Structure 1
């Protein structure tokens, strides 16, 4: 945890990472300012892996990742990463999950998550076990949590996948607001940058060999 240049939320220096036999990042440098940034590229180029590295879910082979967060809170409480394809939450409802998140994320706002659920037309489903939800509805559950988390860094993987048009418009409004934040960074990982949003940083990962 550190104090970086004003306006910088996270800085990556000389990051190297490989899966067995598959090199992905070779001395990657990246500065994430407050506001909205995008990591884009083809399938299997490492977008999700990079988000996992930024979240601390994976450790780099070498290099450093420095977050300009609060020194009195553990790093794991200051980065929220969406993981809608996970089945780890299938046995519980969205509401039960949200109710437990303030224990990990001190600024998590359960009431705001409920309000966002209304915007995503998710309210009829938040008391159901998540194994009953469609892929799009699961993604909405994670998006509600992401925008209610209150973390310095929020990482959203494939934000628009499996969403209906009403939800896409609602999400675009949330991202437009996020793009103006001065003390929080939002990183989207997707095949291509979204249109019509003000981006602070764009990182295009090369196609896999």
Structure 2
């Protein structure tokens, strides 16, 4: 794995995409370095869409995305193994128990860390909810499951949409601690999409939309 902090984890070049005219992105290019990057913008500016494109969950009209030398357009599956992203509104896992969803991650992400997952479950106070199917969880508890997955999966690139939405105060404090550690990681990158910068986090860069 790349450990040079000057080398980008993700390279985005010439990204072009739009649901209609005018385009959301036209020739958008940037690098994501290790640490924490913020994608910031008002509603309708394309924050969530940009994360979907970076995840390979939505096809761009033009442009290239490369994680650690793996081109999305050439090696889709290998690229997706190196990126964690989930739509926080998804219903795809509703029938699974929370623990079942988390346990399934090891089959998709080669560097999934079960010890880290146990610590995250404790930190987010998810223990009482693990046996419940996802559809029975509150919005905040579902968000905690997604965040646990995001930090346990061990991917070079982790994309998180509105990470603090619906969280209780203790979980917000715990997440801020995780992001403080992430900000100094020498090899992995986290990209957050939100309206404002998280308090007390040293950001690698801000992408303003």
TM score, norm. by length of structure 1:
0.91
The match for 2:29 is 29
Provide the rounded CA distance (Å) in 1 between the counterparts of 2:45 and 2:70: 32
Which consecutive segments of 4 or more residues in structure 1 shift more than 4 A?
A: 69-73
Residue correspondence of structure 1 range 48-59 to structure 2 within 5 A:
48-59=48-59
Structure 2, unpaired ranges of 5+ = none
Q: How does 1:84-163 map to 2 (within 5 A)?
A: 84-163=88-167
1:117 positional shift: 1.1
Deviations along 1:14-45, one digit per CA (max 9) or x if unpaired, are 11101134510011111100011000101111
CA deviations 1:51-98 (Å, max 9, x no partner) are 011111111111111111579971111100132211111111111011
* C-alpha distance in structure 2 between counterparts of 1:28 and 1:108, whole Å: 31
Bigger drift between 149-158 and 64-73 goes to: 64-73
**Per-residue displacement from partner, 1:157-192 (whole Å, max 9, x unpaired)?**
000000010000000000000000111110000011
Q: Is the 8 A contact 1:151 1:184 kept in 2?
A: yes
Cα distance in 2, alignment partners of residues 5 and 61 from structure 1? 30
* RMSD over equivalenced CA pairs, Å: 2.0
Where does residue 77 of structure 1 map in the other structure?
Answer: 81
In 2, Cα distance between the equivalents of 1:202 and 1:133? 32
Count of residues in Structure 1 that have an aligned counterpart in Structure 2: 203
Segment of structure 1 superposing worse, 171-180 or 87-96: 87-96
